[in-house]
Amino acid sequence: MRGSTVDTEKIKQDITALAKSLLTLGKLEATEMGKRLGLGAALLAGAAFFALNALSLWFVSASLAFFLLLQPDAPAEPQDPTMLTGALPLGFLIMGAILFVVAGGLALGGILSIRSNQGMKHTQAEGQATVAAVQSAIERGRADVAVKLEYGEQASTIEARPTDVR
């Protein structure tokens, strides 16, 4: 009986060690997954910020352009610095386009970061392999117990001999 108690304790220790290693692997993969998803979300938020800024610049550009189009009197001197010219709305329009390009780059980076997330595939595969190994070990243990019950304790000390082929 003492041998079976020792074996049971060893099995408990082995299963505890397996569970701890699976938890550690799961934590590592979850941390990496969180980093990738967090980076992707931050990049998408930055893209949204720049896109909204670009839209506001385009609204300002459009309002300045309408002001110039609807202005009743054309400026007497085109070089007068106090008078608005078409360059001002065009500058806002160009700056808005640049911000949209930046927003597109950030959005692409965010989407790629989120898509590169592998999930917890390694932990799942390792968990399935561990369960299969434990089930196999249990079946082998049951077979050993069945042999010992049928043939007695000396069954484990009998060595297998190759059979003579005649």
Where in the chain are the domains?
Answer: 23-71+83-119, 121-151
Sign of the dihedral defined by the CA atoms of residues 94, 97, 102, 103, in that order: positive
For residue 55, pLDDT over 70 is answered with yes
For residues 11 and 123, is the Cβ–Cβ distance under 8 A?
no
Tell me what pLDDT residue 50 has: 95
Q: Which burial class, exposed, middle or buried, applies to 5 when counting CB atoms under 10 A from its CB (0-12, 13-18, 19+)?
A: exposed
Sign of the dihedral defined by the CA atoms of residues 56, 59, 61, 63, in that order: negative
The radius of gyration of the chain's CA atoms, rounded to the nearest angstrom, is: 37
For residue 2, pLDDT over 50 is answered with yes
The mean pLDDT value for 109-123 works out to 85
Measured between alpha carbons, how far is residue 83 from residues 78, 80, 86 in Å?
8, 6, 10
Indicate the average pLDDT of the chain. 81
Could you read off the pLDDT of 65-107 as tens digits, one per residue?
Answer: 888 887 766 555 555 555 667 788 888 899 999 999 999 999 9
The C-alpha atoms of residue 164 and residue 68 are separated, in whole angstroms, by: 108
Tell me what pLDDT residue 84 has: 63
Tell me what pLDDT residue 15 has: 82
Measured between alpha carbons, how far is residue 94 from residues 4, 40, 54, 73, 125 in Å?
81, 27, 9, 26, 52
For residues 77 and 28, is the Cβ–Cβ distance under 8 A?
no
Q: Which two tokens stand for residue 22?
A: 């699976």
Three-state secondary-structure class, residue 29: helix
For residues 84 and 65, is the Cβ–Cβ distance under 8 A?
no
Tell me what pLDDT residue 164 has: 45
